[in-house]
Structure 1
Amino acid sequence: MHLVPAERAHRKVIDDHTVCEAIEGIGDPDRLPAWADRFALLGEPHRLSVLLAVHHAGPIAVTDLATATGLDDTTVSRILRLLRASGTVAADKDGRIVRYRLTEPLIAALLDRIAIV
């Protein structure tokens, strides 16, 4: 049980090897909150639809996103504000038009997997 932290070493274990594989699968516990935050972005259907649209068609304007997702401009803008704050999307100004693009490669990889299923 070489991967079991000292504070858990006293616990009864049925299969040492399986416990070590599970711990290895969890990885660095300090990274779990960041991953949970990424999955939270994907956990709401409207956010997910905006993210999928931006990923597959971006750079894309708010009005075009609203049309593509069936949401109103205000809802899309609110979602994009959250996604910008998280660093998941970025805005590029083209004259008076602002277009959004995905900037988070790990989210892009997850969205690619969603599209395959």
Structure 2
Amino acid sequence: MHLVPEERAHRRTIDEHTVCEAIEGIGDTARIAEWSSRFALLGEPGRLALLLAVHHGGPIAVTDLAIATGISDTAVSQMLRLLRASGTVTPHKDGRIVRYRLSDARTAALLDSLGAAAQG
């Protein structure tokens, strides 16, 4: 049981090999925290709809996002602030208009797989 942390090594296992594979699959705790944060962003239906709209329609302006999602401009702006802070979307100025695009490749891959699952 080479991967079991010392503080858990005294516990009796059923299958030591399976325990080590499970620990290896869990990986680094920092990575777990990063993915947990990413899933939290996707866990609210409005944000998920917004991210899907940005991913498939971006670069896209706040007003257009509000129309596409059925969410008010104010709520879209608030959600975008959170998504900008997390590094998930980035704003780009186009004259007086600010357009948003998805900037996180891992989130894009998740959104792509969500779309593939819905179609299949």
For normalisation by structure 2, the TM-score amounts to 0.95
Match of 2:65 in 1: 65
Rounded to whole Å, the distance in 2 between the matches of 1:30 and 1:49 is 27
Rounded to whole Å, the distance in 2 between the matches of 1:113 and 1:20 is 29
| Residue 114, structure 1, aligned to residue 83, structure 2 | no
Match of 1:82 in 2: 82
Aligned residue-pair number:
117
Give unmatched runs, 5+ long, in structure 1.
Answer: none
Match of 1:53 in 2: 53
Secondary structure of the 1:13 match is coil
Deviation at 1:3, TM superposition (A): 1.0
Match of 2:7 in 1: 7
Q: Which runs of 4+ in 1 moved over 2 A?
A: none
Give unmatched runs, 5+ long, in structure 2.
Answer: none
Identity %: 71
For normalisation by structure 1, the TM-score amounts to 0.97
C-alpha RMSD of matched pairs (Å): 0.7
Deviation at 1:58, TM superposition (A): 0.4
